[in-house]
Amino acid sequence: MGGCGYKDMPVPPDEVVPEPVDDLSYEVDETGINLTWSFPAKNINGDALENIASFKLYRAVVALEDYCPTCPVPFGEPIKVPGGLIEGENGSVRKAEYRSTLLRPGHRYFFKVHSSTSWWAESADSNIVSFVWQVPAKAPAGLTAVVNDRAVKLAWQPVSSLVNGEKISGDLKYQVSRSADGNKFTSLGSPVGKTFFADNTVFNGKRYFYKVQSVVYIDGDKLKGGTSKAVEAEPADQTPPPMITGVAVIRAGKNIKIVWNASTAKDVAFYRIYRKVSGQNKPVRIGEAKSIYNIFVDKNVSDNKRFYYSVTAVDGNGNESRRSAEMTTRD
């Protein structure tokens, strides 16, 4: 008895089909686009995978005058991207990446990715990313950073043209990004329209790195442009302790004792003692005392001169208070 059948691609078992990529993302600079996504760590049943054989990256290009938001996206033949072991350094999930520089101004681009554990076990579509490519704006130049107490103030020169020298026609803004190690940068809020930015979410004694990228908005689309060179900054406590009070001077034979009220600041490291001879305009530092002491002895002092003493407090970052009121011994 004869039979009939239908020839088609074999259907792989669920345990070898990767779960879809869900974090496909892109970064645009002045010369092209960088696409990144995570290796799928599980199959569609939720079980762990060890290896991805390869990825298929699909691209579609539509001229802006032909773009239809409700029409199907005309993806072309895929680009093969190598896979490998899923686990990266320190046990983290690896990231795949692809860079494209063959982009045409006035076109909208779409990308999606599939992952495969073999030639016949392919995932479903990833999330789709889309952007409009135009000639980007130049990178901001002259980025500087000024540190303050728990704050970093950035400033840069305004961008006036595209990378091809043409005038910027859209709404120009700047995206500030920060990194703790100089490698992975994270955006700080939304793009700003000014050429300065204050970061008040930093900690003293910690090093930070900053970049600024030009961003142009055209008909609702966000086109990222050039990125500045990175600058680094390390905020530090720049607030000095309060002025010392209660200074008293007591002569004891050939010595003079200077005492004062202990500083109310918690970060005082030591005190500095200054002396001025009668007729002298500027006092001279004659010694220091640890923060646990509030007394200093000026030894072998001449009897026939009048001396004036003042004290300052210095914190662990070298910030010095104003000198106290000058005091001298009584006649």
Report pLDDT digits (tens) over 61-91: 999 899 999 999 999 999 999 999 998 777 8
Give the pLDDT score at 178: 98
Final residue in a domain of this structure, among 133, 155, 186: 133
| Model confidence at 10: pLDDT above 70 | no
Give the pLDDT score at 168: 92
Cα 289–Cα 293–Cα 299 angle in degrees, nearest 5:
55
Burial class, 26, CB count within 10 angstroms (exposed 0-12 / middle 13-18 / buried 19+):
middle
As for how many domains the chain has, the answer is 3
Whole-angstrom Cα distance, residue 98 to residue 230? Answer: 23
| Model confidence at 3: pLDDT above 60 | no
**Is 9 within a domain?**
no
Q: What is the mean pLDDT of residues 8-21?
A: 74
**Is 242 within a domain?**
no
**Is 178 within a domain?**
yes
* Lowest mean pLDDT across 10-14, 153-157, 175-179, 251-255: 10-14
129 and 162 belong to one structural domain: no
Give the pLDDT score at 211: 98
| Model confidence at 144: pLDDT above 70 | yes
| Model confidence at 307: pLDDT above 60 | yes
218 and 253 belong to one structural domain: no
**Is 2 within a domain?**
no
User: What percentage of the chain reaches a pLDDT higher than 70?
Assistant: 95
Average of per-residue pLDDT values in the chain:
91
pLDDT in tens, 183-227: 999 999 999 999 999 999 999 989 999 999 999 988 777 888 889
**Is 253 within a domain?**
yes
21 and 121 belong to one structural domain: yes
Give the pLDDT score at 252: 87
| Model confidence at 15: pLDDT above 70 | no
Final residue in a domain of this structure, among 133, 165, 188: 133
What is the residue range of 268's domain?
248-328
Give the pLDDT score at 2: 54
**Separation of CA 196 from chain center:** 15
| Model confidence at 5: pLDDT above 80 | no
Final residue in a domain of this structure, among 133, 160, 191: 133
- Residue 211 in contact with residue 225, Cβ under 8 Å? no
**pLDDT grade for 296, boundaries at 50, 70 and 90:** very high
174 and 213 belong to one structural domain: yes
Query: SS3 for the chain, per residue?
Result: CCCCCCCCCCCCCHHHCECCCCCCEEEECCCCEEEEEECCCEECCCCECCEEEEEEEEEEEEEHHHCCCCCCCCCCCCEEEEEEECECHHHCECEEEEEECCCCCCEEEEEEEEEEEECCEECCCCCCEEEEECCCECCCCCCEEEEECCEEEEECCCCCEECCCCECCCEEEEEEEEECCCCCCEECCCCECCCEEEECCCCCCCCEEEEEEEEEEECCEEEEEEECCCEEECCCCCCCCCCCCCCEEEEECCEEEEECCCCCCCCEEEEEEEEEECCCCCCEEEEEEECCCCEEEECCCCCCCCEEEEEEEEECCCCECCCCCCEECCC
**Is 1 within a domain?**
no
CATH of the domain at 165: 2.60.40.10
User: What percentage of the chain reaches a pLDDT higher than 90?
Assistant: 72
| Model confidence at 258: pLDDT above 80 | yes
118 and 184 belong to one structural domain: no
Residue 77's CB is within 10 A of a number of other CB atoms, namely 8
214 and 128 belong to one structural domain: no
Whole-angstrom Cα distance, residue 225 to residue 105? Answer: 13
- Give residues with Cβ within 8 angstroms of 261, minimum separation 6: 244, 245, 246, 294
260 and 226 belong to one structural domain: no
| Model confidence at 23: pLDDT above 90 | yes
**Is 7 within a domain?**
no
158 and 219 belong to one structural domain: yes
**pLDDT grade for 4, boundaries at 50, 70 and 90:** low
| Model confidence at 130: pLDDT above 80 | yes
**Is 265 within a domain?**
yes
| Model confidence at 330: pLDDT above 80 | no
